Amino acid sequence: MGPLVAVNRTAICSFPQLPVSDLIRYVTKPEPTTWDIETHTAAKHTVLRTYLDAWFPIMSSWNGRLVYLDGFAGPGRYNGGEPGSPIIALECAKSHKAKLSKEISFFFIEVMRRRADHLEAEVKKLDCPDSFKTEVKCGEFAPTMTAELDELAKKGLKIAPTFALVDPFGFAGIPYSLVKRLLDNPSCELFVSFMVDSINRWLEHPKDEVRGHIREAFGSDEPFDAVDQPNRVEVLTEIYRERLRKIARFVRSFELRDKNDRVVYHLFFASNNAKGHEKMKEAMWKVAPLGDFSFSDATDPQQQVFFLKAYQDILKADLLARFAKRKNILVAAVQLYVIDDTAFLPKHMREVLKLLEAECKITVAEKKSDSKPRIKGTHPPHAYITFV
């Protein structure tokens, strides 16, 4: 059985045939083993760490085996010693080890031998418990992962509940078909870096192979329809979002910008689990507490670029439109809509319901569904509200 069913094996390595876009990068500029961390990368890691701090204990309460998959794992640490995503995942799991499953498999895939070796050395330093099964495999993400899934299918085995981080340098090697294959299993969740800036710059490349990587990533020719659009980055992002929505119930994204405030990529979270969706939104709000779901290296941390009132107005308008003239609705029903179908959290809903009541745009029944009186100014799940 492969690592996706939490069995440890000796790491193996081979030099893959790289796609044209990666070959150009490797030939023109030798890749270092480690590099300096960028500010927007640190923001991404905050989202990842916050989510895994919830994912490991919640999933362990229901499952005896879990898998953390890192498809483009890197060397494990940056030049300043900051942890990369594989080390963050292991550190998160270690901090919750008393509450975790009997077995957790960490499967790290890295294409460059030097980085794979560096990552193995960093993993060994952590002195992980015996219940953690770690494997570093040197190879390309897509063929390596496809082979693992094929192996499971041959043996009639299902993939264990999996959180998959797919964080490439570019857009090659992340086929939509593989993303779909992972998400076809309801216990799998995906966190993928959608490198929209690179796709935008290479969209009109004359080589069929390069255009093929774009087609493969989307699983369709739709991105090429964006060529003549003035806002190509936005259009490409929305096309990918809709492609993910065809295979996942919940899709959420987080925009990351460079020091020039240019959109570099979007972090897309795709899941079929409502609780996972809610926890990922909480993680994103931690990085972007003002509600823009965007992080920029160019933003002055002392400058509020997105005001509290703005996101409250957005949610107010949303609720007023969604529940117009509806009578005696349980707050729990409104909350479910907010959690599943908006970017907001229950605490934001409570803030907005208080504002709407003050503005006489909703009324709240004196008694809740359990016949107990409702405390003035509160909006508990069993309270009835009417949108005027």
Q: Are 386 and 328 in contact (CB under 8 A)?
A: yes
Q: Is the pLDDT of residue 20 over 80?
A: no
Mean pLDDT of 303-327: 78
pLDDT-based confidence at 382, cuts 50/70/90? very high
Q: Is the pLDDT of residue 124 over 60?
A: yes
pLDDT-based confidence at 359, cuts 50/70/90? very high
- Give the best-scoring range by mean pLDDT among 73-87, 283-297, 302-316: 73-87
pLDDT-based confidence at 29, cuts 50/70/90? low
- Write down the pLDDT at residue 311: 80
Q: Is the pLDDT of residue 11 over 80?
A: no
Torsion over CA: 132, 82, 262, 204 (sign)? negative
pLDDT-based confidence at 30, cuts 50/70/90? low
- Write down the pLDDT at residue 83: 97
- Write down the pLDDT at residue 292: 59
Q: Is the pLDDT of residue 376 over 70?
A: yes
- Write down the pLDDT at residue 262: 80
- pTM value is 0.83
Q: What is the C-alpha to C-alpha distance for residues 172 and 21, in angstroms, rounded to an integer? A: 7
Q: Is the pLDDT of residue 18 over 70?
A: no
Mean pLDDT of 236-245: 95
Tens digits of residue pLDDT in 144-155: 999 999 999 999
For residue 178, give the nearest of 157, 160, 164 by alpha carbon: 164
Mean pLDDT of 22-26: 43
Tens digits of residue pLDDT in 182-209: 999 999 999 999 999 999 999 999 999 9
| Percent of the chain's residues with pLDDT above 90 | 73
Radius of gyration of the chain (CA): 23
| Percent of the chain's residues with pLDDT above 70 | 86
State the chain's mean pLDDT as an integer: 87
- Write down the pLDDT at residue 265: 85
- Write down the pLDDT at residue 31: 81
Q: Is the pLDDT of residue 7 over 50?
A: no
* β pairing state of 329-330 and 384-387: antiparallel
Contacts with 120 (C-beta within 8 Å, 6 or more apart), sequence order: 11, 136
Secondary structure, 3-state, the chain: CCHHHCCCCCCCECCCCCCHHHHHHHHHCCCCCCCCCCHHHHHHHHHHHHHHHHHHHHHHCCCCEEEEEECCCCCCECCCCCECHHHHHHHHHHHCHHHCCCEEEEEEEECCHHHHHHHHHHHHHCCCCCCEEEEEEECCHHHHHHHHHHHHHHCCCCCCCEEEEECCCCCCCCCHHHHHHHHCCCCEEEEEEECHHHHHHHCCCCCHHHHHHHHHHHCCCHHHHHCCCCCHHHHHHHHHHHHHHCCCCEEEEEEEECCCCCEEEEEEEEECCHHHHHHHHHHHHHHCCCCCCEEECCCCCCCCCCCHHHHHHHHHHHHHHHCCCCCCEEHHHHHHHHHHHCCCCHHHHHHHHHHHHHCCCEEECCECCCCCECCCCCCCCCCEEEEC
* HSE-up of residue 36 (Cα within 13 Å, Cβ side): 2
Q: Is the pLDDT of residue 257 over 90?
A: no
Mean pLDDT of 327-355: 94
Q: Are 332 and 314 in contact (CB under 8 A)?
A: no
- Write down the pLDDT at residue 309: 63
For residue 331, give the nearest of 380, 377, 368, 274 by alpha carbon: 380
- Write down the pLDDT at residue 308: 54
Q: Is the pLDDT of residue 250 over 70?
A: yes
For residue 70, give the nearest of 193, 200, 165, 207 by alpha carbon: 165
Q: Is the pLDDT of residue 341 over 60?
A: yes
Tens digits of residue pLDDT in 263-306: 888 899 999 999 999 999 999 888 876 655 666 655 433 333 33
